[in-house]
A and B are shown apart, each in its own frame.
Chain A
Amino acid sequence: MRKSVKPCHKQEQKVTAAAFQKGSFEEYLWNHPKEVEVFLEKIGVDLEELDRIIEQGGGVVPFKNAKNYSRQSLS
C-alpha cells in the first residue's frame, strides 16, 4: 500500500513564554475576573474609559490615587 504524502506548509511557531504558571496567584486572578474589576474600580480606574482607550488603539490608563490603596487596605 502506498503511503500518502501530504505537502507540509506548517508555519514555524515562534517561541513564547507563559503569562503565568499553574497554581500561581496570576492564575487565580485569571479565573476571577470579577475580583480584578472590583479592585480596579476601588482604586479609581475607570474601566469603561479603559476599554474605550484599548478599543481605540491604546493609551494611558485612566486612574487616580492608586498609591493610596495598598494590598493590606484591600484585604
Chain B
Amino acid sequence: MRRITRDKAFHEAKKFIRQQLRLIYSFGDITLRIDSPTVGVLDDGTGYIYMPSKASYERINPSSLPSGIVFEDGSFLVFKEIFRYQYASETERTPEIRRIEYSYHYHRPQSNSFFRYDFHPDVGNMETHPLFHLHAGGWPDTADDFPPHVRFPVAEISLREVIDLIRISFWEYMT
C-alpha cells in the first residue's frame, strides 16, 4: 500500500466535490430550488459536502422549512457526505474516493413523513445501528422532534440513487 500524498488526496477530494455538484444540478427538471451547498477539504484531505450547510443539516426537525434540494411539491432533501481518497482496505492496491460518513434526509412536510439513509460507523453499535441503515416514519402535527424510529439495515446507497428513488417514487410512479 503506497502512501498517498496530501496534495493527491486534496486534488481527488476536490474532483469529487465537482462531480457531486454536477449530479446535484442534473435534477433541475424536478426541483423548485437548489440551495448552494457548503463544501471543503480539510488539511488531512478529508472532503465534505453539506447541503445546504452543516448548521441547517444538524437542526433539521419536523417543522423545518424546505431547504437543500427543494422539489416542486415542497418536499426536500438535505444531506451530508464526508469522504477521502484512500485505500478501501489494506490489501487494495489502488486508492479511490471512499465515503467515511453519509446521511441523506428526505422530508415531506405535506405528509408529515421522512426517510433517511445513514452511514456513520463511529456512532452506536451493530446491534442498534446496522452499518448502513434507513430511518423512515411520520409524526403528528404537534411534534417538535422526529419520533423514535427503527433503523432498518439496508445496502449502501449513493446520492444519485437517493434522488432517483425520489423521482421514481414521487414523480414518475405517481403521475
Q: Report whether B39 and A18 are in contact in the complex, using a CB–CB cutoff of 8 Å.
A: no
A25-B160 contact given A19-B99, A40-B22, A58-B38, CB 8 Å threshold: yes
CB distance from B171 to the nearest CB of A (A): 13
Residue in contact with A15 in the complex, picked from B14, B26, B131, CB distance below 8 Å = B131
CB distance from A71 to the nearest CB of B (A): 5
B100 to chain A: closest residue by CB: A16
B113 at the interface (CB under 8 A from A): no
Q: Report whether A33 and B102 are in contact in the complex, using a CB–CB cutoff of 8 Å.
A: no
B15 at the interface (CB under 8 A from A): yes
Q: Report whether A60 and B37 are in contact in the complex, using a CB–CB cutoff of 8 Å.
A: yes
A17-B38 contact given A30-B19, A71-B29, CB 8 Å threshold: no
Q: Report whether B22 and A17 are in contact in the complex, using a CB–CB cutoff of 8 Å.
A: no
Q: How many residues of A contact B (CB 8 A)?
A: 43
A71-B53 contact given A16-B99, A60-B38, CB 8 Å threshold: no
**How many A-B contacts are there with CB distance less than 8 Å?**
121
Chain B residues 14-54 with CB under 8 Å of chain A are 14-19, 21-23, 25-29, 31-34, 36-42, 48, 53
Q: Report whether B14 and A54 are in contact in the complex, using a CB–CB cutoff of 8 Å.
A: yes
Given contacts A19-B83, A30-B19, A66-B25, 6 further A-B contacts (CB under 8 A): A25-B160, A54-B17, A57-B40, A66-B34, A70-B28, A72-B29
Residues of A bordering B, CB below 8 Å: 10, 13-21, 24-26, 29-30, 33, 36-37, 39-40, 43, 45, 47, 50-51, 53-54, 57-63, 66-74
B89 to chain A: closest residue by CB: A13
Q: Report whether A40 and B29 are in contact in the complex, using a CB–CB cutoff of 8 Å.
A: no
B37 cross-chain contacts in A, Cβ below 8 A: 60-61
B155 to chain A: closest residue by CB: A17
B90 cross-chain contacts in A, Cβ below 8 A: 10, 13
- For the complex, give the distance between the alpha carbons of A10 and B40 in Å: 30
CB distance from B13 to the nearest CB of A (A): 8
A58-B48 contact given A16-B99, A53-B39, CB 8 Å threshold: yes
Q: Report whether B100 and A14 are in contact in the complex, using a CB–CB cutoff of 8 Å.
A: yes
